[in-house]
Amino acid sequence: MLTRFKPTWMINSIYEITPAEIREMGIKVILTDLDNTLIAWNNPDGTPELREWLEVMRIEKIPVIVVSNNNQKRVEKAVEPLGLPFIARAMKPLTKGINEAKKKFALEDRQIVLVGDQLLTDIAAANAAKIKSIWVKPIVETDAWNTKLNRFIEKIIKRRLQKENIIKKVWGHSLND
C-alpha cells in the first residue's frame, strides 16, 4: 500500500533536473505539476530561475508539459506566458490527466516522467499510470488551504516510507544521488 506513494527519484527542485541526466534515464518528455513544483502557488509569474530552466529544456529539445489538477482558466493563465502545453483538471491521483497527455502528445510510458511536489496526488498518479516520477520539495513552505490536509497526511506517509527504507532521508540534487 505504501509503495503506491514511492517516487522513482526525489530531488530538491525541478530546476536541478538536467537534460543530460534525463536522457541518461531514457526519458524524452517531462510532465510536470504546476503549483509549488514549477511555480510558487502564490507567485504565478514564476522566477528568472524557472525561465532559465525552461530555456535550457527548449534548447535541448526536451518538451515540458504541465499536468495540473487546477482548472483550465487558472492553468492557462499561468502557463501561457511560459509557452508550455498543458492539461488541466488532471484529477491526480487518478490517471486521467497523464493519459490525456500521453494520447495528445503520442507518448510512451517509458519515455516520460511526472515531476510533482505531492505524494498523495502527483506521485500516486504516476504510480497508478505506471510511469516514472520525481518528487520535489514544494517551492514555498506554505500551501493553499486545500492542500493543507494532504500535507498533514503526506508527513505521516513520508515518515513511514523513510522508516521502512523505501525512500531516502535526504533530498538529492541529481537523479544519481
| Least Å from the CB of residue 117 to Mg ion | 4
Supply 116's cell numbers: 510533482
Residues 6+ apart with CB under 8 A from 96: 89, 90
36 binds Mg ion (CB under 5 A): yes
35 binds Mg ion (CB under 5 A): yes
Q: Does 143 bind Mg ion (CB under 5 A)?
A: no
Q: Which position among 29, 117, 120, 161 is part of the footprint of Mg ion (CB under 5 A)? A: 117
Site string for Mg ion, 86-115 (x = CB under 5 A): ------------------------------
User: In whole angstroms, what is the distance from residue 13 CA to residue 172 CA?
Assistant: 9
Contact between 154 and Mg ion per CB under 5 A: no
**Pick from 7, 29, 33, 143: which binds Mg ion (CB under 5 A)?**
33
CB atoms within 10 A of CB 154: 19
List of E strands, 17-163: 29-32, 64-67, 86-87, 112-116, 132-136
Shortest gap between Cβ of 10 and Mg ion (angstroms)? 15
Q: Which helix (H) or strand (E) holds 158?
A: helix 148-163
Q: Can you give the binding site for Mg ion, defined by CB under 5 A?
A: 33, 35-37, 117
